[in-house]
Structure 1
Amino acid sequence: MTKNYTHILWDWNGTLLDDSWLCVEVLNVLLKEIDKPKISLDDYRSNFEFPVINFYNYLGFKTDEKNFKEVSHKFIALYEARWLRECRLREHAFSSLEKIKASGIHQSILSAAHYNALNLGLSHFNLTDFFHTISGTETIYAEGKIKKAKSWMLENKLDKEEIILIGDTLHDLDVANEIGINCALLSGGHCSKEKLATPNSPVFSSLNHLIDAVF
């Protein structure tokens, strides 16, 4: 699918940031509180989906408005207590960003993460200067990515054929489809290769293979 792309839209969690293991550990703390069985990383990657409320329902959490907000705040508190100290970038993430920057292609971040946490993470890992624009959301509920993508397209006025979104979930493919751009998916983040299998987007197991194939 090699094309003359001029801009990459990167997802953050699971694509550049290796944090799925931490999400599993945090969820297992919360599942223990409600006497539900633990979930393994493989199970997580096989079943994770957006909207996140559906995944929480699958795990056994009560997902009425009150309880979903409560468990979401608990998750964020436990996650934020650890992620900057314990998480790392995915293998080849930094070198991939460097390679793309050296080629003259613009890069931006489009994430369902809260923009404060997103900017904090990019600064922590010395990534901020790689990106032309940085777009996060205003809530902790991993919602609103499609809306953000549409706004980004209107603001940047780029040729759709020259943009590709790189992400690690089927929601990233949904976002790309909504705004009419191509998408490449990376397994081993928040979804397994099998979960991502689709005729509408190639799936890669590592960032260096993805970058070599697409660019």
Structure 2
Amino acid sequence: MIVPMNREPLHLVWDWNGTVLNDFEIILRSTNDSFSDHGLPAITADQYRTQIKMPIRSFYADILGHEPGDEEWEALDATFHKYYVAYEREARLSDGLPDLFREWSGRGHSQSLLSMYHDDKLVPVVRHHGIDRYFELVQGTTPPRPARKGLHLRDHLARLGVDPARVVLIGDSPDDAAAAATVGAHAILYSGGFAAGQSLRATGAPIADSLTAAVALIDEVMADAAAAGEG
């Protein structure tokens, strides 16, 4: 349940992969299918969760044991996306959705969806799940893709014209917390996505084990910010 707020409306930015879309198993399968095509050994779920970081090319460098050259990286990335696009519609929305979207909007707040996924692939799959109507903006990346989510989030909020101090980002990775901090927004991290709990805790951001719990934390986060003179 979302506790009604007495202050001015807030804006909630949702992350896509691993947060709104429960697609970890599909991401892992696509990664390993791509690795197999390129003669590389498969990785486990634990390896993925503990080693994942942004930009994704750095994650691949750790897994491969060397920095991939442009040609190698482009080949791996293209093969991954070939498999991911083939599998992605098997994924389902995370628990609590889309009810949380409806409840949030019904209380007079706004929301949007931001992803590092390619925009031309993101928009159709969001529409496929029937949730595009809940968001003021659905935004993926377009070439040249930003290396970090902070730059992408800054552009996203500028397009929306919202005050970062009134923004909460719900995501599942340390990069989400870093992106929010970069622009002066707030972050709540969801532990049911891609990153291991240890890496989430290291950010110092509030952590929730469900999206329902994440939304329920928003009042507390904003109250703490107000007490600290941040919002």
TM-score by length of 1: 0.90
Shift of the alpha carbon at 1:32? 2.6
Q: Does the 8 Å contact 2:13/2:112 carry over to 1?
A: yes
Aligned counterparts, 1:124-139, within 5 A:
124-139=128-143
> Runs in 1 of length 4+ with deviation above 6 angstroms?
none
Give CA deviations for 1:47-77 in whole Å, capped at 9, x if unaligned. 1110100111122176111110111001001
Q: Which amino acid aligns with 2:82?
A: A
The alpha-carbon deviation at position 145 of structure 1 amounts to 3.0
State which of 12, 15, 18 in structure 2 corresponds to 1:11: 15
| Partner residue in 1 for 2:120 | 116
Question: Could you tell me the percent identity over the aligned residues?
Answer: 24
Provide the residue aligned with 1:46 in structure 2: 50
Change (3 A) 1:77 1:160: same
The 1:26/1:72 distance shift into structure 2, 3 A limit, reads: same
Shift of 1:144: 5.3
The one of 63, 72, 76 aligned to 1:71? 76
Residue of structure 1 in register with 2:186 after alignment: 182
Choose from 91, 94, 99 the match for 1:90: 94
Inter-partner Cα distance in structure 2 for 1:193 and 1:44: 13
Alignment check: 8 A CA contact 1:135 1:148 kept: no
More displaced, 145-154 or 161-170?
A: 145-154
Residues in 2 aligned to 1:8 and 1:157: alpha-carbon distance in whole angstroms: 13
- Which protein shows a greater Rg? 2
Q: Which amino acid aligns with 1:13?
A: N
Name the structure, 1 or 2, with higher relative contact order (CA <8 Å, separation 6+).
1
Is this contact kept in 2: 1:52–1:142, CA < 8 A? no
Structure 2: 5+ residue stretches without partners: 220-231
C-alpha distance in 2, partners of 1:139/1:77? 18
Report the AA paired with residue 43 of structure 2.
Answer: I
Deviation at 1:199, TM superposition (A): 5.3
CA-to-aligned-CA distance 1:135-180 (integer Å, 9 cap, x gap) = 2101497745332222233333322221111111111111111111
* Mapped partners of 2:38, 2:123: distance in 1: 33
8 Å Cα contact 2:38/2:76 also seen in 1: no
Aligned match of 1:106: 110
Cα separation, 2, equivalents of 1:62 and 1:30: 17
Q: Following the alignment from structure 1 to structure 2, what is the Cα–Cα distance between the partners of residues 167 and 141?
A: 19
